[in-house]
């Protein structure tokens, strides 16, 4: 899932990666975020990747198809190795040697992801970068599934991705802070996406992302940071 992170969220905790120039960062965030409050009176809930892992565990328990259970189990291993354990070798071991990631949808977002087609060496480098800069943390990223599909060839879902963003970095980039927030607050960006994961010989072939060009940015709920 590391490839899913949009440019604005790649430095959820690491200030160094936000030093790319406030103008560029502002344009990238504003291109994918509508300045509006998430629909909860107390503010946006912070990401929790445990929810996605628990969802996958429930899907695995519910299926009576051994092949599908094995595919879901591999996706769980991929997610945990990537986001919780920061184990690059385990993460890459879930992928075929000729893995390919694809980005589709909003052209500007695709460009910021590194292009439409990303092959193994760049995939590995992106994972390492996001493991190091704080994007890949259990409380900094969440996949929120609305519809889940599986057959013998692929796993797919649609829903939302949620990212934790520091107010200081947004303010430094000149992004207007919603909800009357300040630079000391924490914000949550929510973006709609579709993800398709093809399988071959029991391993993930890659991840295909379909990006929505809009989203929401809301201040995190009080006490949630």
pLDDT in tens, 179-203: 678 999 999 988 889 999 999 999 9
- Share the mean pLDDT of the chain: 81
What whole-number distance in Å separates Cα of residue 60 and Cα of residue 206? Answer: 20
Half-sphere exposure of 86 (CA within 13 A, CB side): 11
pLDDT of the residue at 118? 86
pLDDT of the residue at 43? 67
More confident residue, 109 or 60: 60
Percent of the chain clearing pLDDT 90 (strictly above): 49
More confident residue, 44 or 40: 44
Q: What share of the chain is helix, strand, coil (3-state, %, to 5)?
A: 40, 30, 30
pLDDT in tens, 139-162: 998 999 999 999 999 999 999 989
Is the pLDDT assigned to residue 6 strictly greater than 70?
no
Angle among Cα 188, 191, 196 to the nearest 5 degrees reads 130
């Amino acid at each position: 899932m590391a490839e899913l992170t949009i440019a604005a969220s790649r430095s959820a905790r690491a200030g160094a990666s936000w030093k790319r120039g406030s103008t560029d960062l502002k344009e990238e965030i504003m291109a994918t975020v509508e300045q509006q409050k998430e629909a909860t009176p107390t503010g946006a809930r912070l990401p929790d990747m445990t929810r996605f892992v628990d969802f996958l565990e429930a899907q695995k328990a519910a299926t009576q198809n051994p092949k599908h259970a094995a595919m879901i189990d591999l996706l769980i291993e991929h997610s945990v190795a990537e986001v919780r354990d920061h184990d690059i070798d385990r993460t890459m071991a879930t992928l075929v040697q000729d893995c390919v990631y694809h980005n589709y949808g909003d052209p500007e977002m695709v460009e910021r992801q590194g292009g439409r087609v990303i092959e193994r060496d760049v995939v590995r480098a992106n994972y390492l970068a996001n493991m190091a800069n704080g994007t890949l943390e259990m409380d900094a990223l969440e996949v929120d599934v609305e519809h889940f599909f599986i057959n013998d060839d692929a796993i797919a879902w649609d829903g939302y991705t949620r990212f934790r963003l520091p107010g200081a970095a947004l303010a430094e980039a000149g992004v207007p802070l919603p909800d009357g927030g300040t630079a000391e607050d924490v914000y949550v960006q929510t973006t709609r996406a579709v993800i398709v994961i093809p399988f071959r010989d029991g391993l993930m072939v890659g991840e295909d992302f379909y990006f929505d060009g809009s989203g929401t940015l809301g201040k995190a709920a009080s006490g949630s940071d």
